[in-house]
Amino acid sequence: MTSTPTAPPAFWQVEVTLPRSALPPLEAALEPLSVAISWIEVDEGQDLWTLQALCVDRPDDAVVLPALALAAAAAGVPEPEPVVIRIEGRDWLAQSAIAFPPLRAGRVYIHGSHHTEPPPVGSWPLRLDAATAFGSGDHESTRGCLLAFDALARQGRARNVLDVGCGSGILGLAAARAWACPVLGLDIDPESVRVARFNVHRNGLGAFVRVVPGVGVSGRLAQERAPYDLIFANILARPLCALAHPLSKCLAPGGRVILAGLLTRQAAQVLSAYRRQGLVLERRLVLGAWTTLVLRHPPRRGTCR
């Protein structure tokens, strides 16, 4: 007797676009109803973010609409109309294998848990699955950072690495895999810290990588570990400009900073902010609409303040 395969369950997705400040109370209201919640920035200049909540059952309007009204009122914006759609059941593991095939960026080889083939000889393998934290290697800004890192690794090795806004931890993990050096990852988002720590553990790099909550480089641990030979900062243009002074002060003489998360039209603004701190542009990578900048601290004495 053959059994009939059970159809994968369907889900419901609630999607709302609001300013970032309005999303936490809305997320808190939807969290008991959902199995996953993500935020996606849709317009940096207008501070607009889309919240997507994936639910097993269709969410009750009596819960969603009052929560949405309170969130909009708290942000001082008109109440938007939520978009609720049904997502038909799929074999998500098979879909993941199709949607997230192994990815190479220089010698960095990123693969999901569904991929069981041995990594290419001479590569630096990292096991990462699609998750709630940013950084799977397929976005142009992350890929640009990895390609820039691979090029720097051909010139030598770093002894001390900092990853600001680490997301999934992918950049710091790549450095630890390649160099077996100390890496500190910082992120303002608690979920990113959780995911990055999980990825550190599953890749067996706990002896080298530490991930902690942090804003910029103002925390005690970030200060104590400075100066850094290499700093990753894959965030957004405005915070990159704001961090130009503190990041430059934490960079060792001769050290490099890899900046990403900026659109090509924003590159001149970010580059100017770091040049004012005395850093020198070494390389510029353009992938699609995104630019990655590699800058070097001139070989002179500096302190981290």
The neighbouring-strand residues paired with 49 are: 18, 41
303 annotated as a binding-site residue: no
Q: What is the pLDDT of residue 300?
A: 61
45 annotated as a binding-site residue: no
What residue segments make up the domains of the chain, in order of their start? 11-90, 94-296
Question: Alpha-carbon distance 38 to 26, whole Å?
Answer: 12
User: DSSP letter string over 217-276?
Assistant: T-SHHHHHH--EEEEEEES-HHHHHHTHHHHHHTEEEEEEEEEEEEEGGGHHHHHHHHHT
Least confident interval from 109-118, 126-135, 246-255: 126-135
| Between residues 213 and 45, the one the model is more confident about | 213
Least confident interval from 59-63, 64-68, 117-121, 299-303: 299-303
- Return the CATH superfamily for domain 11-90: BMC (bacterial microcompartment) domain (3.30.70.1710)
142 annotated as a binding-site residue: yes
234 annotated as a binding-site residue: yes
Topology of domain 94-296, CATH: Rossmann fold (3.40.50)
Q: Which residues of 200-226 are buried (b: 16+ CB within 10 A; e: fewer)?
A: beebebeebbbbbebebbeeeebeebb
DSSP secondary structure letter of residue 218: -
Chain position carrying tokens 């038909």: 88
**Sign of the alpha-carbon dihedral angle for 69, 72, 78, 80:** negative
The number of beta carbons lying within 10 Å of the beta carbon of residue 96 is 17
Residue 259 C-alpha from the chain's centroid:
13
- The reported pTM is 0.68
Mean of pLDDT over the chain: 83
1 burial (CB, 10 Å; 0-12 / 13-18 / 19+) is exposed
